[in-house]
Chains A and B, each alone.
Chain A
Amino acid sequence: MSNPTVYLLDDEPGMVKAVTRLLRARGFEVQGFTTPASFLDAYRPGSDSCLILDVAMPELDGLCLQRQLTHDGILLPIVFLTGRGDIPMSVRAMKAGAVDFLTKPVKDTDLLRAVRAALVRAAEQHEIAVISGRLSRLTPREREVMKHVIAGKLNKQIAFDLGTGEQNIKIHRGRVMHKIGIESVADLVRIAEKLGIGRNRD
């Protein structure tokens, strides 16, 4: 995993420069853009990154860009930073999945907190994405076994429920852990929670 990148998009070059300085001084990798097009060109999915986004821009409104990214399946946590925020606008942004909605002038602590939160979310989203990919490799029987494991059942109970031998369950369970790439049942449960697996299913 490469260093987390903070993308910054604001039509005001002075603002891009200032925020870039602020974040770099704090050790972040920052890429600044003044137009949505240049940002979309440079953006590469696959690493932990977030976007600090201005709302009012001549070419493309920040909220519109947010919708477009979601639509394109790009799960990039967004921190809005605007000179003219109002409550309806912030509600819309948050409902659409924004991490935070900040107004200029912004204090460095507020901005850093929001950026960090965004990067955490990015990391989690990355992890979920990875695990989701792995989950897709499970066989139906392994998936069945995993659900029972997450539900906290013992091998014996699972074998009984599924009408098979305990030894079989052990082998399946081992394969699930291996395929997903985790070592403890606790990790499995945590991930399953995030993915929404096993809840209200049984």
Chain B
Amino acid sequence: MWENGCRTTGLPHEKADRVVRGPRMACFLVALLVVLTAVGAAGSEPKRVLVVHSFGSVAPPFTTHSVAFETELVEKMGERVDLDEVSLDMARYADPNLQEALVEYLQKRQAHWQPDLVVPIGSPAGVFVEQYRDRLFPETPILYTGMDRRRLSPHALERNAAFIGENFDGPGFIEDILQIAPATKNIAIVIGASAVEQYWATAFRKEFEPFTNRINFIWLNDLSLDQMLEKTRALPPDSYIFLILLLRDATGVTHNADEALQRIHAVANAPINGIFQHQLGLGIVGGRLYQAELEGIESARTAVRILHGEPASSFPPKIVGPLSPRYDWRELQRWKIDEKLLPPGSTVLYRTPGLWEQHRALIIGGISICVVETLLIAGLVVNRIRRRHAELSLSESEDRVALAADAAQLGVWEIDAATNKVWVSDKVRDLFQITPGTDVDYAAFHERVHPDDRPLRDSAIKRAIETKDGYEIEYRILLPDGTVRWISGRARCMSDGDGRSTRLLGVSMDVTERKQAENEAMEQRNELFHLSRVASLGQLSSSLAHELNQPLGIILSNAQAAQHMLAGDNPDIPELQEILADIVGEDLRAGEVITRLRALLQRGETRLLPVALNGVIEDVLHLLRSDLVARGVTVRTTFAEGLPDVAGDKVQLQQVVLNIITNACDAMAENLQKDRILRISTNLQSDSVRVSIEDQGRGAPGGDVSRIFQPFFTTKSHGLGIGLSICRSIIAAHQGRVWAESNGTRGTTLHLQLQVIAPAAS
């Protein structure tokens, strides 16, 4: 597959090799395939980039660099890049003749494919490109990357070239080792024998010179990998291994430096350090590591800008420095390197969970059980101490209760249900006026209770004892001097666990003042209701006069007609009988009017009895009949049949209905007679009866019907504005609800809702 699609790549056999051996390369190939298909599809003019690799097969750190570079470049340029590669494979073929052959080969290729940018990665490629540039790419911009600046000539960057590389700090590597392993005496240097490795061996040997007085450097560059492994397996104590590069060993065998590192790591008896970031995790301990990958990415970005037309020489040489120190936790553990020795700002990676991390839940659970047990024991001990303390302070606490009861004017008592024995506090004696010092029994107690209230209190006490519950009642007591006082009594039944003995524990309080205040408030309210009724009857006086005059007039006319007929010679007896029957009927009717009137005028306490609301409304309509006629108001009633009774005071409810109806009539006074229609309906709403009285009047100002219940709110020139506010307090006293609703364009509906009484009570 690769062979077929390899339109732009150089040496097919190398590529096949990569597919097999490197996952990163596979990545790259996928990216390349994307490019190829994209290029084929778009058919535009892509930029041509020639990458010159130093080494053939997967050769870290160069491949790390080149994969990052190519991936980034493809990503940034997309379909607009055509990537070609050539590899010097310097590890195997570092021969001037071969280089000459390669130059010729490239020259021939360029007849077909002229690159827009040449990117040598790694110093061998860089050196090669610099050397043959005039013959191969005299005008093409060059981006040198993945190499130390020192590897190029000082003039290399003068002509249409850019540089992104590193600047290895040789002594820094040794300092890193000594930082974490200060006792190090020997450092074994692992490095291959290829040209670039020879260069670096020489360079580092020179840079390490300052340490030679205290460190014994063991150079393994003239050994095969197997020999190196043997050597590192048995290094003297206080040794360290430093891996620079391993591309080709002294016996001419090429190696993947990362694989070599792992093999050394597997056998070595000393910690290992390397140069590059990607080696962390493969067996090195760590330190300042160089970022081949970042270098690749930076190079790709610069390449993009050059391909977009920026001159390569406009970019100053860029050195990508090492990362802040980072370490492999596993290696630190393995070589017992104290993390305290790491330089400030270090990062430790690959931490593996320890016993605590792996078994945290179990450990916490175990500890928790221990703690809980300890707490339990402590709790039991404290509880015991407290109980002893409580026992000691019980009498003190009783004193406090007595004091509180005294302060609250509470009388405390206790009855033993079995023996009928009674214990009372002094306050109870005081309240019930029982002589101090005398024995108190239930009968003595009972005797003080007002005769009317004795059954109430008796049954409350009995029920409390039977049901082992409590009670809360208010009753009167009659004192020897004849005064009556109100007592609020509360009691609770206390029984032993086995239920053998039962005691009733209670408190009594004199609430006479409160009762009096309540009664006064009630009386005042009733008086107010009464006065407002009288006031509303004043408004009705002419209507009432008519209601009485009507029957009286009929009676008089009938009676006088009869008189005259009797004065005649031949009185018509059947006619006379009829006249008398009519007189009786009218008289009764007049009597009814008087009765209704008296009912409305009577003053009395509010008494809630079963009331039929339809009847209340009918009564009021009777009283108002002539008034309604005189005002030209037509009444339309829709009464629900079979409504249950509500609990109410008939007179007060009549007053409310009367008030609402007269208000409604007032509101319609300015209407044409045909528009003076009053609709009254009743209906059942689950557990209450609702009366709705709808007028077609002018409504409340601004439609704000909520205000009409406020005291002194009126729209009438002669009204006081207290009628509806009294209605509301009457309905509130009935635990009912009265509210108004604006009928939109015209009129107001007043709703009145009262609870039906429980069926058992009706």
Contact = CB atoms under 8 A, between A and B. Distances in A.
A25 interface: yes
Interface string A56-94: 111001000000000000000000010110100000000
A58 B634 contact: yes
Interface string A5-24: 00000011011011101101
Given A58-B629, A105-B556, A106-B556, A22 B550 contact: no
Contact residues of B: prevailing secondary structure: helix
Contacts of A81: 553
B71 to A, nearest CB: 102
A111 B552 CA distance: 15
B632 A22 contact: no
Contact of B546 (A17, A25, A83, A108): A83
A105 B557 contact: yes
Contacts of B579: 18, 21
B561 A25 contact: yes
A108 B561 CA distance: 8
A12 B561 CA distance: 18
Given A11-B629, A84-B546, A108-B560, 13 more contacts: A14-B582, A15-B553, A18-B555, A21-B561, A22-B560, A25-B565, A25-B568, A26-B564, A56-B546, A56-B629, A105-B553, A105-B556, A106-B557
10 contacts: A14-B585, A18-B557, A18-B558, A21-B558, A22-B560, A61-B632, A84-B630, A105-B552, A105-B556, A105-B557
A22 B554 CA distance: 10
B332 to A, nearest CB: 111
Interface of A: 11-12, 14-15, 17-19, 21-22, 24-26, 56-58, 61, 81, 83-84, 86, 103-108, 111
Contact of B557 (A83, A84, A108): A108
Closest 7 CB pairs of A and B: A104-B553, A18-B557, A105-B553, A21-B561, A83-B546, A105-B556, A22-B561
A103 B626 CA distance: 15
B537 to A, nearest CB: 15
B582 A17 contact: yes
A161 B568 CA distance: 62
Contacts of B565: 21, 25
Nearest to A57: B629
A93 to B, nearest CB: 15
Contact of A15 (B545, B547, B554, B561): B554
Contacts of B561: 18, 21-22, 24-25, 108
Given A18-B557, A56-B626, A106-B557, A83 B550 contact: yes
Nearest to B631: A56
Nearest to A22: B561
B618 interface: no
Residue among B546, B552, B555, B585 facing the most chain A CB atoms (10 A cut-off): B546
Contacts of B547: 83
B549 A104 contact: yes
B44 interface: no
A176 B582 CA distance: 57
Contact of A14 (B586, B629, B630): B586
B546 A18 contact: no
A21 B553 CA distance: 13
A46 to B, nearest CB: 29
Contacts of A14: 550-551, 554, 582, 585-586
B543 interface: yes
A18 B564 contact: no
Contacts of A104: 549-550, 552-553, 556
B542 interface: yes
A14 B556 CA distance: 12
Contact of B549 (A19, A57, A84, A108): A84
A83 B547 CA distance: 8
